[in-house]
């Protein structure tokens, strides 16, 4: 093999030996050695390859695959702006701790800074977002390089996985390739051989397991679970159930089932009587969705669980940082405390359901009905902005996992994230996939729906809440009457897009629903990718939220 082909072959081969099972590729010329190596690995069944024409969508597809599988997933691009388009996904992966591997092809040094085509400065392109950056040297001379190349892949995978003690997250390998880029031989060379036992060149350590924190929290405590890995949420939920502590979990915290789950979220906190202010709040994951949680943390003594050396404390309320969720111990719960919260949640839940059932097809009702309808074992991907917040109103449901891009909380790339997450979810034996998105989030990554005829497709239903603009701004200060003259153009941003026509461009199944029975029918498990559109009104959504808050306050009082 010529040097560039040899490098591409070794990098992909060692990625597979390090546990990589999915890979994403965007087309390009400079990346040809990597592309052909990935295609060969896919053809032999060693990994599953996904090809996308839009690099930003490709990056988020890889992010979704990595997020749902908890395995490193490489995304390969050619040089220039192709590589730069991965930046949003790399930022999200960094803040969410997702093991994303960016392999960006590049020109050799003699073609940089001299006006060569598709050449930009790619060194450190993603800045502080990555856990590791390596400029892979130009493979001029293969002699003795096999071991170094394979060891580099192992180092990159270990860094992405957090196996060396740091936080999991994205890694960037900038791969400089000199022509010829296409293979001149179909045979493998003996000096490119892997380990004889077929394993990774360097045995990777397992990610360190933190020592559980002390279980000395007072009986009248409360657990807040923000966006986090489902395994960590399960630990928090088991601890709370054993101690009789109420649990307020964000949708992507995945701790919203059980007798002490507070499914009415911010509405309940807004009506909380002083006698139920907890002595201590245990924060697990990264809560970002509600002002009520921030206000509660500011009024309470707070313990924060730090995963991989990071913790969430945006209110500067943490009195103590714990290395992990406290261990289970045989301590009797305060039954009166548990019963008080259980009764309060029951009142709030009944009030919420009564208002929703009386209000017609609203955004909030769609979120509740979606979770009610999905079968056990399903995956739900929530868009940022209002959809994630609407899911706070869903009733408790076991065996349903919710994922969301809450690291940087952007709306970009969510269609591709949902596709990638569902592909990985179903490859592992999981059930139907769903995604609840706003119209702007859907439009922002509509390119994600475009895939070639040979690409794997999941069974995934997108539910798009179309209020013709940015609905969340109506709930913020920008929506106040004094900003009315500027609001619609610079915040509301109506677009008038025809989603049915847009879906037709990518041959994606489409359905408009106008009633609750139609919605329930559209949520039945189905094959392939489909879009269900629900027309809503921004002002009505805000007014309904006000009615829900008033109803909960009255019920609790």
Q: What tens digit of pLDDT does each residue of 194-232 get?
A: 998 989 999 988 777 778 888 889 999 999 999 998 888
Q: CA geometry: angle at 77 spanning 75 and 83, to 5°?
A: 105
DSSP for 460-480, written as a single string: EEEEEEE-SS-GGGGGSGGGS
Q: Where are the alpha helices (DSSP H) in 170-306?
A: 230-243, 265-270, 291-299
Predicted local distance difference test score (pLDDT) of residue 309: 67
How far apart are the C-alpha atoms of 470 and 440, rounded to whole Å? Answer: 7
Summarize pLDDT for 134-160 with one digit per residue, the tens: 999 888 766 668 999 999 999 999 999
CATH number of 359-556, picked from 3.30.499.10, 3.40.50.970, 1.10.3720.10, 3.30.70.100: 3.40.50.970
Q: CA geometry: angle at 409 spanning 540 and 312, to 5°?
A: 115
Predicted local distance difference test score (pLDDT) of residue 144: 64
Predicted local distance difference test score (pLDDT) of residue 51: 98
Give the torsion sign (CA, 388, 304, 343, 291). Answer: negative
Predicted local distance difference test score (pLDDT) of residue 164: 81
Please indicate whether the domains covering 3-192 and 359-556 agree at the CATH topology level.
Answer: yes
How far apart are the C-alpha atoms of 419 and 247, rounded to whole Å? Answer: 30
Residue numbers in the chain where pLDDT is lower than 70: 141-144, 185-188, 190, 308-309
Total count of residues recorded for the chain: 557
Angle between helices 414-427 and 55-69 (to 10 degrees): 40
Q: Is 4 exposed, middle or buried (0-12, 13-18, 19+ CB in 10 A)?
A: buried
Domain ranges of the chain: 3-192, 221-348, 359-556
Bridge partner residues of 433 (DSSP): 379, 460
DSSP for 182-215, written as a single string: S-S--SPPGGG---TTSS-SSPPPPPP-PPPPP-
Query: Exposure pattern of 440-456 as b/e (b: 16+ CB <10 Å)?
Result: bbbbbbbbbbebeeeee
CA 439 to chain centre: 18
CA 116 to chain centre: 37
Q: CA geometry: angle at 540 spanning 539 and 546, to 5°?
A: 95
How far apart are the C-alpha atoms of 80 and 489, rounded to whole Å? Answer: 34
Predicted local distance difference test score (pLDDT) of residue 537: 94
Architecture of the domain made up of 221-348: 3-Layer(aba) Sandwich (3.40)
Q: Which fold has domain 3-192?
A: Rossmann fold (3.40.50)
Predicted local distance difference test score (pLDDT) of residue 479: 81
């Amino acid at each position: 093999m010529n040097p560039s082909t040899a490098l591409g072959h070794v990098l992909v081969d060692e990625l597979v030996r390090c546990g990589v099972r999915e890979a994403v590729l965007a087309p390009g010329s400079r990346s040809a050695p990597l592309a052909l190596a990935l295609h060969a690995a896919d053809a032999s069944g060693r990994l599953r390859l996904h090809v996308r024409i839009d690099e930003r969508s490709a990056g988020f597809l890889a992010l979704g695959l990595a997020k749902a599988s908890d395995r490193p997933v490489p995304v390969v691009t050619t040089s220039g702006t192709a590589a730069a388009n991965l930046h949003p996904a790399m930022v999200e992966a960094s803040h969410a701790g997702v093991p994303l591997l960016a392999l960006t092809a590049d020109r050799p040094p003699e073609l940089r800074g001299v006006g060569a085509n598709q050449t930009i400065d790619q060194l450190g392109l993603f800045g502080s977002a990555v856990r590791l950056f390596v400029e892979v040297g130009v493979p001029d001379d293969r002699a003795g390089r096999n071991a170094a190349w394979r060891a580099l892949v192992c180092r990159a995978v270990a860094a992405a996985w957090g196996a060396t003690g740091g936080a999991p997250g994205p890694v960037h390998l900038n791969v400089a390739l000199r022509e010829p880029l296409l293979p001149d031989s179909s045979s493998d060379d003996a000096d490119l051989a892997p380990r004889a036992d077929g394993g990774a060149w360097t045995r990777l350590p397992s990610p360190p397991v933190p020592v559980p924190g002390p279980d000395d929290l007072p009986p009248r405590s409360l657990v807040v679970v923000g966006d986090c890995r489902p395994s960590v949420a399960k630990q928090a939920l088991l601890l709370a159930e054993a101690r009789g502590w109420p649990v307020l979990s964000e949708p992507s915290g995945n701790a919203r089932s059980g007798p002490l789950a507070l499914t009415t979220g911010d509405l309940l906190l807004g009506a909380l009587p002083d006698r139920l202010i907890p002595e201590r709040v245990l924060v697990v994951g990264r809560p970002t969705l509600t002002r009520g949680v921030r206000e509660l943390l500011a009024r309470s003594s707070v313990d924060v669980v730090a995963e991989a050396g990071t913790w969430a404390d945006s209110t500067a309320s943490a009195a103590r940082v714990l290395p992990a969720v406290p261990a289970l111990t045989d301590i009797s719960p305060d039954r009166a405390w548990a019963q008080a919260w259980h009764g309060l949640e029951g009142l709030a839940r009944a009030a919420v359901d009564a208002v929703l059932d009386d209000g017609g097809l609203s955004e909030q009702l769609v979120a509740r009905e979606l979770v009610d309808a999905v079968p056990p074992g399903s995956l739900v991907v929530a868009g940022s902005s209002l959809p994630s917040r609407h899911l706070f109103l869903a009733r408790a449901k076991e065996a349903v996992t919710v994922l969301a891009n809450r690291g940087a909380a952007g709306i970009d790339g969510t269609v591709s994230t949902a596709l990638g997450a569902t592909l990985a979810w179903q490859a592992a034996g999981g059930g139907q996939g769903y995604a609840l998105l706003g119209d702007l989030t859907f439009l922002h990554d509509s390119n994600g729906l475009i895939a070639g005829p040979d690409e794997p497709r999941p069974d995934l239903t997108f539910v798009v809440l179309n209020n013709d603009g940015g609905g969340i701004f109506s709930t913020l200060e920008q929506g106040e009457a004094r900003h009315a003259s500027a609001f619609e153009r610079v915040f509301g941003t109506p677009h008038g897009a025809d989603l049915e026509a847009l879906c037709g461009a990518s041959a994606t199944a489409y359905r408009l629903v106008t009633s609750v029975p139609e919605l329930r029918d559209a949520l039945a498990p189905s094959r392939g990718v489909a879009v269900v559109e629900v027309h809503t009104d921004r002002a009505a959504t805000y007014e309904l939220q006000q009615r829900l808050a008033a109803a909960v306050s009255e019920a609790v009082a």
